[in-house]
Amino acid sequence: MKKKIFCLTFIFCFFAMISANASEIAIINLDEVVNNSTAMIKTKKKLDSKKMEVEKKLKAEEKKLADEKTALESQIKILSQEVAQKKVLEFQEKIMAFQNNVKESENNLQKDFMDAYVEITNNIKDIIVEMKQENKEKYNFNVVLPKASVLYNENNLDISADILARLNKRLKEIK
């Protein structure tokens, strides 16, 4: 009997602690806020445009290399072995330079995206602090968790819409 009373008391206290602290937790759908922010939408458009320009430039360079390869293949038949080997090595160096250029272009686009993501998330952190300081009663939280890490929550804990509205006012575009 004493065990049952102890267990029931423990369970009651545990749930009382959870419900007392639930108002101190807020949830943010970080992916949704970042991806729907004006700054990220504009950044993605810029990066898509930049990617298309890079792809166009790389395709032109690739075609030039393909033409050069065709010309080299026909020249090899006429050239001495030593000169042919030298030309083949020069062409292979051009191919390697092209491949490095492709990788560098991809890395630059990825870096630009990550820089934008970091700037937006840093702004989100600042906005959360400001929200808490401006209205402690409305934003009565001590912890903000990403929605992806939460299995269940009440809708009133989600501050994503408030953060997105403030983020869009604050950060229109990333330079």
**pTM exceeds 0.85 for this model:** no
Of the candidates 30, 34, 51, the residue with the CA atom closest to the CA atom of residue 174: 34
Domain ranges in the chain are 2-170
Quick one: pLDDT at residue 108?
Answer: 96
Question: What's the number of CA atoms in the CB half-sphere (13 Å) around residue 27?
Answer: 15
Q: Does 10 score more than 70 pLDDT?
A: no
Give the SS3 label for residue 135: coil
pLDDT per position as a tens digit, 48-100: 999 999 999 999 999 999 999 999 889 888 888 898 899 999 999 999 999 99
* 157 or 104, greater pLDDT: 104
* Residue-averaged pLDDT of the chain: 87
* 113 or 23, greater pLDDT: 113
State both tokens at 97: 């330079």
